[in-house]
């Protein structure tokens, strides 16, 4: 193999690896932005005033979902996958300045994945809890103000992916 051919192959390798690094960093950036927005919105809720709320409903429903995963086995049309799911049904009632409101949110920006659902599900309906509400729109309320675990996890995952992409890009450029 001539030196020119080796240079061309090395350049092709760096270019394909560079595309992979770009994808990793782009996914990391998207996760970081979504997590940062969610964490910031959660952080803002920590300054909201609180009031007492009565827990109306708190059911943690367990289910099993079966679905076919496409393109996993061409001959059979896909492999069936069984997933255990948990869904929190939550409702609470609170009063602000003489007006009664009902809320259903556990954490701000939890992206539908409340990490602390089991702790709330252990409480009995009728229990009294503290709820944070928005003074500009008292209909917005959360039982657990502050950044959600899901938002912080997304932020951390995005930062790790961007760091891995940056380091891999440096290694590829030196090769």
What is the predicted pLDDT for the residue at 71? 65
User: What share of the chain has pLDDT > 70, as a percent?
Assistant: 86
The whole-angstrom separation of Cα 104 and Cα 94 is: 11
Our measurement of the distance from residue 63's CA atom to the centroid of its chain's CA atoms, rounded to an integer in Å, reads 21
| pLDDT over threshold 90, residue 111 | no
What is the predicted pLDDT for the residue at 156? 96
Q: What is the pTM of this model?
A: 0.73
Question: Which comes out higher in pLDDT, residue 175 or 3?
Answer: 3
Query: Token pair for residue 146?
Result: 């502050």
pLDDT 10s digits, 31-63: 999 999 999 999 999 999 999 999 998 888 888
The whole-angstrom separation of Cα 24 and Cα 30 is: 10
The whole-angstrom separation of Cα 152 and Cα 163 is: 17
Give the chain's radius of gyration (CA, Å).
24
Question: To the nearest whole number, what is the mean pLDDT of the chain?
Answer: 85
pLDDT 10s digits, 2-30: 776 777 676 666 667 788 888 999 999 99
Confidence band, pLDDT 50/70/90 cuts, at residue 138: very high
- For residues 71-80, give the mean pLDDT: 66
Instruction: Please tell me the total number of residues recorded for the chain in this structure.
Output: 175
């Amino acid at each position: 193999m001539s030196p020119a051919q080796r240079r061309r192959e090395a350049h092709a390798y760096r270019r394909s690896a560079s595309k992979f690094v770009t994808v990793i960093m782009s996914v990391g950036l998207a996760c970081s932005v979504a997590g940062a927005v969610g964490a910031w919105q959660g952080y803002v809720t920590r300054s909201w005033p609180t009031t007492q709320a009565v827990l109306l409903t708190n059911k943690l429903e367990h289910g099993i979902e079966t679905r076919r995963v496409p393109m996993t086995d061409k001959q059979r049309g896909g492999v069936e996958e069984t997933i255990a799911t948990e869904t929190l049904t939550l409702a609470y009632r609170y009063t602000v300045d003489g007006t009664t409101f009902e809320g259903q949110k556990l954490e701000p920006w939890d992206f539908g994945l409340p990490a602390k659902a089991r702790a709330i599900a252990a409480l009995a309906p009728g229990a009294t809890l503290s709820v944070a509400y928005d003074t500009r729109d008292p209909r917005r309320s959360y039982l657990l103000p502050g950044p959600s675990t899901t938002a912080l996890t997304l932020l951390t995952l995005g930062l790790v992916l961007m760091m891995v992409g940056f380091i891999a890009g440096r290694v590829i450029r030196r090769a």
